[in-house]
Amino acid sequence: MSSVESVWFTGRRSPTARLRLFCIPYAGGGASLYREWAPALAPWIEVQPVQLPGRESRFDEPPLTSMADLVQEILDPIGPYLDLPIAVFGHSMGALIGYELVRRLQRRPSAMVSALLVSSHPAPHLPQRLPLRHKMNERDLRASVKDLDGTPQSILSNDALMDLFSPLLRADFQLVETYEHGVPTPLRCPIYAFGGTSDPYVSKDELRAWGVHTNAVFQLAMLTGDHFYLKTRSDQLLSYVFESLAPGACPR
């Protein structure tokens, strides 16, 4: 494995894997979010958490604020991983990145994309209905991040840590909020959408709208919880993920 590959993908390579699952984090999040997924899923699934610039082991790198630039940066290092069928999971911001990545990968004849799994993000063609957080002043940005309830209190209550963390959040919000969907090209792979029943930011209808972006199977599952239900309902989510990726996956 080259050094470029290892920077982006933090999972262990498995000689017995039959499918690779790339997992993309939410705004401000890192690859460690998916640390426990590999042992929780089947041994034939190789989990590859995606480490984006500007966080955790890549903290010294500037985060990217353009969706097109970010996806382009991923395309080269992902090449050696396309010798197996792949699937992509993304939560919140990660769902949008995953969608754009799969759109690009399906142009490659060598890429065998089995599924896109999206979590807690409206379908990409829908208009923004939330305030533009990347344009907020620092006080309002921090209040908005607190309301999201995905950042540890140990960071939120520490001004020095927030001074380090808020530029990354602002960059990630800019990436999402300046995204332009363009001409729709339905995916050839299934899309599986997941959301929290009490998520104040993403509705069931906004999740269901992902169905127009595939010519294959679409399924939606709602789990008890808010925007970050994947932390409190991880076992249930992983069960759904496994069912979605299992050979001969069928509607639940």
DSSP of 10-72, one letter per residue? -SPP-TT-SEEEEEE--TT--GGGGTTHHHHS-TTEEEEEB--TTSGGGTTSPPP--HHHHHH
> Which residues make Cβ contacts (< 8 Å) with residue 21, sequence separation at least 6?
37, 41, 45, 46, 47, 48, 86, 87, 88, 89, 241, 245
Let me know the angle formed at the C-alpha of 50 by 182 and 75, rounded to the nearest 5 degrees: 50
Is residue 114 among the annotated active site residues? Answer: no
Distance in angstroms (rounded) separating the CA atoms of residues 49 and 114: 17
Tell me which of 3, 14, 92, 114 is the catalytic residue. Answer: 92
Q: Which two tokens stand for residue 231?
A: 């932390």
Distance in angstroms (rounded) separating the CA atoms of residues 108 and 96: 20
Catalytic residue positions? 92
